Structure formats: C-alpha cells, structure tokens
Structure 1
Amino acid sequence: MAIRNDLNGLRMQLPGAPEVYLIDQGRKRHIPDPLTYNNLFRTWNGIVQDPHLNNIDTGTPLSHGAVLAQAQGDAAVYLIDNGVKRHIASPATMDRYHFDWNKIEHVAPILVRSIQNGPTIAWP
C-alpha cells in the first residue's frame, strides 16, 4: 500500500466497480452514497478509472451527509466531515477537488466555530 499525495483531490474508482473514492491526504476515502457525493462535487464527470486503486492506502470514509459550509460573513470554506471542519485553503484546491461552489451551505458563524478543526485541505 502507498500514500499518494500526488493524487489528492481526484475522485477514483476501480473499473466496473460502483464505489467512488476521494483521494485525500494521500489515501482513498470511500464516498458512502450519491447524496453525499452530490453534496460536495460539481458533476459525476471526471472520475478516474484506475485498476491499481487498491494499491493506495485506505483512509476513513467520508461521513454520510458530509457538506461544504461557510460561516455567514466569512470567506473561509470548510469540508464538514466526521465531526470536524477542514478549511479548504484556496480556489485552486476547490477546483482540484472538484468541489462545487454552488453547494456551499451558508450557516451561522457560531455553528462553524462549534465544530472541531481538522487538517487543512490544500493543493498543491
């Protein structure tokens, strides 16, 4: 198994398999269902078919219902997943991860502040 930080942000699947993974922190993270996928990503286009996907270390699956969130009045955008918020460092990172600007939930600042910080998502 390998950690593949060079693949961070890609959505991947084994050819012929239904499961889709996000490569994050060099590990493949299972996207649990279409609802969660649609909460985060622009389209289903661009998913990389890779017969060697199982050679990548497995990380924690994305939590069901993971969302993108932004506190009202704040420019920072976060991935809210598995009980933590992870700052998405830049528009380039949003693009690399294929995150959808139109899917960002605008919430009260107190809600964002109440969620524990996780590692920043940055590209490159």
Structure 2
Amino acid sequence: MLRRTCSTLIALLAAVILGTAAAPAALAAAPAADAPAVQPAQVRPDLNGLRVKGVNSPAVYLILDGKRRHIPNPATYNNLFRDWNGIQSVLDVNAVDDGGPLSDGAILGKSPSGPEVYLISNGIKRWITSPAAMDKYYFAWNKIVTISPVALYSIPTGPSIS
C-alpha cells in the first residue's frame, strides 16, 4: 500500500514539475497491487520509418533509430515527406523512447556532384543509403535540395539511415 501511495505521489509531483496534463490521472484510483507495472519507453528499431501520432494529439513523430522524433511543424514535415498519407494513429506514442525532435526546417539535401541524399537535421547530415531506405521512410525524392559541395561537406556526418 505504501509503495502505491508513494508511486502516486511521485507521479503527481512529476506532473506538477513538468507541467503536464498527467496530474488528474495521478489522482485517479491507484492500480490494484496485482496490476501489471507500466512499461518504460523502449527503443524500437522494428518501427523505423513509421510516421505516428497519438490518437488524440496533432503531434507527428518519425521513428528513426528506434526512437520517436517529433516533427516540429507542417513546413518541416513538407520538406521531408511525400504527403500526409500513411501517418498511423497509435494509443501510446510514449511507449517508444524519445529521441528528441528533428530540427525546425530539416531538409533532404545532396551535392550536385554526387548521388548521395542526406537528411540534414540538428546540425548533422545522415546519408540515406538507398532508394529502399527513401521509400521506407516515405522521404520525397522531389523535395531534395541541391547544396554546394563545400557547404554539404562542412556539415558533420551522423549515422547512416537504412
């Protein structure tokens, strides 16, 4: 009983500190002692390439590196993806570990002198290794921006996307 009460108080305190809407839920009846524990967020590489949103939330995420990456606004979404089709509504986007947001204005870029396409976000470029990877992530071929080789190669390189 004491453990349940402490858990409820910790959840309430976290909600107040973080300013989340979880405070009313923390005040709800405590779960039964035999109820399964809430699972922590997990890294889910099996979901890579999906675009997801919560059932009752407008926020859209890309699953990349097995983590959810918030797409900060429609303009950034439109820079990267073919269209708004195929976004999956899920009950708990928080079940996937948070990998931080894509940067506002993230783009797909390439040099005019090479075929490699990169996702450029958060100050790094990540090589998209194949047409299959472009399709898996639903990236838009017609939205690739040509960047001068000097500018492109001055951007630090992050892990490849496959």
Is the pair's TM-score, using the shorter chain for normalization, greater than 0.5?
yes
- 1:48 & 1:5 partners in 2: Cα distance? 16
Higher RCO structure (Cα 8 Å, ≥6 apart): 1
Quick one: which of 144, 150, 160 aligns to 1:104? 144
- 2:79 & 2:93 partners in 1: Cα distance? 24
Find the counterpart in structure 1 of residue 132 from structure 2.
92
TM-score with structure 2 length normalisation? 0.74
Q: Give the structure with the higher percent strand.
A: 1
TM-score with structure 1 length normalisation? 0.96
Identical columns (%): 52
Find the counterpart in structure 2 of residue 43 from structure 1.
83
Q: Give the structure with the higher percent helix.
A: 2
- 2:132 & 2:88 partners in 1: Cα distance? 19
Q: Which runs of 5+ in 1 are unaligned?
A: none
Structure 2 residue 57 is the aligned partner of structure 1 residue 8: no
Structure 1: 4+ residue segments shifted above 2 A: none
Q: Which runs of 5+ in 2 are unaligned?
A: 1-40
Please say which structure displays the higher CA radius of gyration: 2
Alpha-carbon shift at residue 52 of structure 1 (Å): 2.6
Root-mean-square deviation (CA), in Å? 0.6
